[in-house]
Structure 1
Amino acid sequence: MKSTKIDQLLQDLKKTDEVARQRATSQLWQLWFTQKGEIGRELLRRSQSFLDKGNFQKAEELLTEAIKNYPDFAEAWNRRAVLYFSLERYEQAKKDCEQVIQLIPYHFGALHGLGLCLLALGNYQDAIAAFRQALEVQPYALINQKLILECTALL
């Protein structure tokens, strides 16, 4: 999932112009959510609906089925990582984040999520490395800078 358009969006994430960065962020999320067309978008929408209703088991089943049917659908892996993280299943969330990053190395959401998982697991050095990778993609993401400081203080 690399193209001239994506290259431009990634460059826009590094601009000082906040509007350009927000637009690029939004467009990258849109690309990731629509990677598998309407079928993929509907799977993600349904899983989010289950999450919103607190039906974590159904959301997990749907996302796992989506991953089985579309193993290269990075956002299905990412959504399941978010689910696992919210359930404090950090090792599983970490593995799903790593899968997203393998599929889309510049997925700033998964890089940030990986850092959060590593932080929750007490692996502060690796968490710092993950947050730094996220900053390479999104240098103005202040949350990653803040989390690096938090991890450093915990060392």
Structure 2
Amino acid sequence: MDQSRIDSLLEALRDGDPQIRERATQELWHHWFCQKGTMGLQALKRSQELLSIGDVDLAEDLLCRLIEQFPDFAEALNRRAVLYYTQGKLEQAIADCERVLELVPYHFGALHGLGLCYQAQGDYGQAIQLFRRALDIQPHALINQRLILECTAQL
């Protein structure tokens, strides 16, 4: 996907029409998941299947091998960050989210995930900053608005 199309989708995330925003959101996720073609997409799907049946170790191994093969595969890093977050391995999740953002600075999912990590660590100020950055990209994301309120109440 060329940069002009990405810019167009990022602009559509700000549109007043929720259907336009949803289409743009889905297209960006599709772009991220398909960055490494069919093989990468299938590996990500397989890791999600493994997680859904509770085989966390195998899912983690698959994602680690995928990242080793494709160190610039932002969505593989993001999926591993989610896995680490759900396991309470917050430092590892933070490291993966930060790497995603180095590769794809507009990855609102990684910004949201990074905010969740800091919220879980009790660093509410940092979490608020990250949820706000996610809102800068995706201003109608109610979840980030709600999390900002929750974190503010903790300060």
Q: TM-score, normalised by structure 1?
A: 0.98
Describe the SS at the equivalent of 2:59. Answer: helix
1:92 Cα shift? 1.0
Per-residue deviation, 1:2: 5.7
Give the superposition deviation at 1:94. Answer: 1.1
Q: Are residues 1:109 and 2:129 paired?
A: no
SS in 2 for 1:72: coil
> What is the CA deviation profile of residues 11-49 of structure 1, one whole-angstrom value per residue up to 9, with x for unaligned ones?
000011100000000000000000000110011011111
Which position in structure 1 is the counterpart of 2:16? 16
User: Shift of the alpha carbon at 1:89?
Assistant: 1.1
User: What is the identity, as a one-letter code, of the residue corresponding to 2:23?
Assistant: R
Distance 1:136 1:14 in 2: 9
Unaligned runs of 5+ in 1: none
Q: Which residue of 1 aligns with 2:40?
A: 40
- Which amino acid letter does the alignment assign opposite residue 116 of structure 1? L
Q: Which runs of 4+ in 1 moved over 4 A?
A: none
1:147 match: secondary structure: helix
Q: Which residue of 2 aligns with 1:93?
A: 93
CA distance in 2, matches of 1:77, 1:141: 22
C-alpha offsets along residues 95-114 of structure 1, whole Å, 9 cap, x if unaligned? 11111111100001000000
Name the CA distance, whole Å, in 1 between partners of 2:79 and 2:143.
20
**Among the aligned pairs, what percent are the same residue?**
57
Q: Distance in 1 between matches of 2:130 and 2:138?
A: 12
Q: Where in structure 2 are there 5+ consecutive unaligned residues?
A: none
Instruction: Give the secondary structure class of the aligned counterpart of 2:118.
Output: helix
Provide, for residues 123-153 of structure 1, a one-character-per-residue CA deviation record: whole Å limited to 9, x for no partner. Answer: 1111001000000000000110111111111
Q: Distance in 2 between matches of 1:107 and 1:75?
A: 9
Q: What's the RMSD between the two structures over aligned residues?
A: 0.9
> Given residue 62 of structure 1, which amino acid in structure 2 is its aligned partner?
L
Deviates more, 1:28-37 or 1:87-96: 87-96
Task: Tell whether 2:117 aligns with 1:127.
Answer: no
AA of the residue aligned to 1:54? G
